[in-house]
């Protein structure tokens, strides 16, 4: 059988074996003990032709309800946004996507410069002094921020608001177990972090205070008030943020955040069933040498030309091994490129316009539900592009009904919060038209 990715011919094989001095390829594996050699053929499906693959994988893809065919109001950390057409054209350039980490700067200037620009854009958006080249995703970036805070402050307790994405809290807890840290959750009140509970739990052992902005319920936290407590002793202030919202919201950097993380998925990256997305990590110059992951820096070559290199590598695993600030190696470079292209396409004006459309449309929807007599939870809070509605029956039932009408409904909050059974978080982005919003309100009339 011949495989189009395998160019070794019988003649090549013979010539190569002659050069090596063996009579069979088998001989090259003679150091593998007989006992552990795999006999026979692996129990895998037989190879498919290219048309065969398209058909088989096309079949699987078509079994999924996608947001091209349905109108989706699902968010909760992953959003459907406008993806400028240019994004896929750029990330499909194979000089980018078939390259490794830019360890040889002379032939990786393209990637390095693109990352340098990404770092700049993320710093600008978050209002921070610097940002790294990317992390796996928002929640693991948040977890790294919490671990870094513990390392920096030598304190052992991480205070996390319950209004932080539940899966992010879970990741922090798994990570904390490894580092022998304690995670304490801060209660919520009216859909935002309970300031009194935070004050009570904050003490000399606090490594950091972690909040999300806008939070998991879509509400905008009062960062100014939280910051005062976060910095009242030695702890650091860590904010997870939706970067698109920062087109219109005052950035966490302005409120004195020490570390700002999040996921750049809203910029040019499709939902793709939860990954790969693109975590980001921004911080202050003071904490620069503790940052996990890769950093690109500007420098000059022997002729004085500007160029870019991976820098401050003494923090990283391939140099410091067990003393590294993190074990991260691969990151999300290609998705950071996608996000950079999307941020460049939107630019200074477009990012504001897109963020404003989210806030306008979500508020229009929220108001429409209120006017129709629905129970909108935490309705007094300022929101970005999500809000919560309480129904008279389980969200699962409501969503099944919506699906029949071609709508993918919102997030079932009861999954994570027993006190919020029958509560649904609805996301409204710039992609939802007035007609679609009105249609959703109408469709839900019967289940108020």
Restricting to residues 288-317, name those near another protein by CB under 8 A.
288, 294-303, 305-309, 311-314, 316-317
Q: How far is the CB of 200 from another protein (least distance, A)?
A: 25
Q: Find out whether 243 and 266 touch, Cβ atoms under 8 Å.
A: yes
**Which of 71, 119, 206, 240 touches another protein (CB under 8 A)?**
119
Which residues on adjacent β-strands are paired with residue 191? none
190: closest CA among 354, 360, 433, 419? 419
The interface region with another protein, picked from 131-139, 190-198, 200-208, 386-394 by CB under 8 A, is 131-139
Identify any residues that bridge with 182 across adjacent strands, giving them in sequence order: 157
Q: DSSP letter at 212?
A: E
Query: With respect to another protein, which residue has the nearer C-beta, 194 or 382?
Result: 382
Binder among 321, 373, 380, 418 for another protein (CB under 8 A): 321
Q: Per rule CB under 8 A, is residue 401 in the interface with another protein? A: no
442 contacts another protein (rule: CB under 8 A): no
Report residue 178: phi and psi, to 5°. -65, -35
- Total residues at interface with another protein (CB under 8 A): 204
Contact between residue 209 and residue 235 where contact means Cβ atoms under 8 Å apart: yes
**103-128 as b/e: b if 16+ CB within 10 A:** eebeebbebbbbbbbbbebbbbbbbb
Ramachandran angles phi, psi of 219, nearest 5°: -85, 145
Q: Tell which one of 188, 230, 249, 259 touches another protein (CB under 8 A).
A: 249
The token duo for 39 is 């006999």
Distance CA 282, CA 262 (A): 9
Closest CB 230 distance from another protein, rounded Å: 17
- Out of 242, 331, 385, 422, the only residue in the binding site for another protein (CB under 8 A) is 331
Cβ-proximal residues to 318 (8 Å cutoff; 6+ apart), any chain? 329
How crowded is the C-beta side of 148, counted as CA atoms within 13 Å? 32
Tell me: does residue 137 bind another protein (CB under 8 A). Answer: yes
Stretch that binds another protein, among 191-199, 232-240, 370-378, 392-400 (CB under 8 A): 392-400
Asked if residue 74 lies in contact with residue 408, where contact means CB atoms within 8 angstroms, the answer is: yes
Residues 145-204 that bind another protein (CB under 8 A): 147, 165, 167-168, 170-171, 173-175, 177-180
16 near another protein, rule: CB under 8 A: yes
Q: Residue 354: which H helix or E strand, with range? A: helix 333-371
Q: Give residues 29-48 in contact with another protein (rule: CB under 8 A).
A: 29-33, 35-38, 41-48
- Closer Cβ to another protein, 126 or 153, answer by number: 126
Residues 332-361 touching another protein, rule: CB under 8 A, are: 332-335, 337, 341, 343-354, 356-357, 359-361
- Decide whether 57 or 199 has the Cβ nearer to another protein: 57
Among 190, 233, 286, 320, binds another protein (CB under 8 A): 320
Binding piece for another protein, criterion CB under 8 A, among 120-128, 155-163, 186-194, 440-448: 120-128
């Amino acid at each position: 059988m011949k495989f189009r990715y395998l160019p070794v011919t019988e003649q090549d094989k013979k010539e190569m074996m002659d050069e090596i001095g063996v009579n069979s390829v088998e001989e090259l594996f003679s150091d593998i003990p007989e006992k552990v050699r795999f006999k026979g053929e692996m129990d895998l499906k037989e190879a498919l032709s290219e048309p065969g693959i398209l058909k088989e994988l096309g079949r699987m893809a078509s079994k999924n309800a996608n947001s091209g065919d349905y109108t989706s109001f699902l968010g909760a950390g992953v959003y459907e946004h406008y993806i400028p057409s240019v994004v896929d054209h750029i990330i499909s350039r194979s000089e980018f996507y078939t390259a490794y980490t830019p360890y040889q700067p002379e032939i990786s200037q393209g990637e390095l410069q693109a990352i340098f620009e990404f770092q700049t854009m993320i710093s600008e958006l978050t209002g921070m002094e610097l940002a790294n080249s990317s992390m796996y995703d928002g929640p693991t970036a948040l977890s790294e921020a919490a671990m870094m805070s513990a390392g920096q402050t030598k304190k052992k307790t991480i205070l996390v608001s319950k209004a932080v994405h539940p899966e992010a809290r879970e990741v922090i807890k798994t990570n904390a177990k490894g580092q022998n840290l304690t995670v304490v959750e801060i209660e919520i009140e009216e859909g935002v972090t309970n300031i009194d509970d935070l004050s009570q739990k904050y003490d000399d052992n606090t490594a950091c205070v972690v909040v999300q902005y806008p939070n998991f319920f879509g509400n905008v936290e009062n960062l100014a008030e939280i910051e005062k407590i976060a910095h009242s002793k030695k702890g650091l202030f860590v904010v997870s943020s939706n970067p698109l919202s920062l087109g219109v919201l005052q950035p966490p950097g302005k409120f004195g955040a020490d570390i700002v993380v999040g996921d750049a998925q809203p910029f040019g990256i499709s939902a793709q069933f939860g990954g790969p997305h693109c975590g980001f990590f921004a911080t202050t110059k003071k904490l620069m040498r503790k940052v996990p992951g890769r950093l690109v820096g500007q420098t000059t070559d022997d002729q004085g030309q500007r160029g870019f290199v991976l820098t401050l590598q003494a923090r990283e695993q391939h140099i410091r091994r067990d003393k590294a600030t993190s074990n991260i190696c691969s990151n999300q470079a290609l998705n950071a490129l996608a996000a950079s292209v999307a941020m460049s396409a939107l630019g200074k004006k477009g990012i504001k316009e897109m963020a404003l459309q989210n806030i306008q449309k979500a508020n229009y929807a929220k108001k429409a539900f209120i006017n129709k007599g629905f129970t909108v939870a935490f309705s007094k809070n300022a929101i970005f592009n999500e809000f919560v509605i309480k129904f008279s029956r389980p969200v699962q039932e409501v969503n099944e009904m919506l699906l029949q009408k071609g709508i993918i409904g919102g997030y079932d909050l009861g999954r994570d919060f027993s006190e919020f059974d029958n509560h649904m978080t609805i996301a409204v982005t710039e992609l939802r038209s007035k007609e679609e919003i009105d249609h959703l309100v109408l469709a839900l009339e019967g289940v108020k």
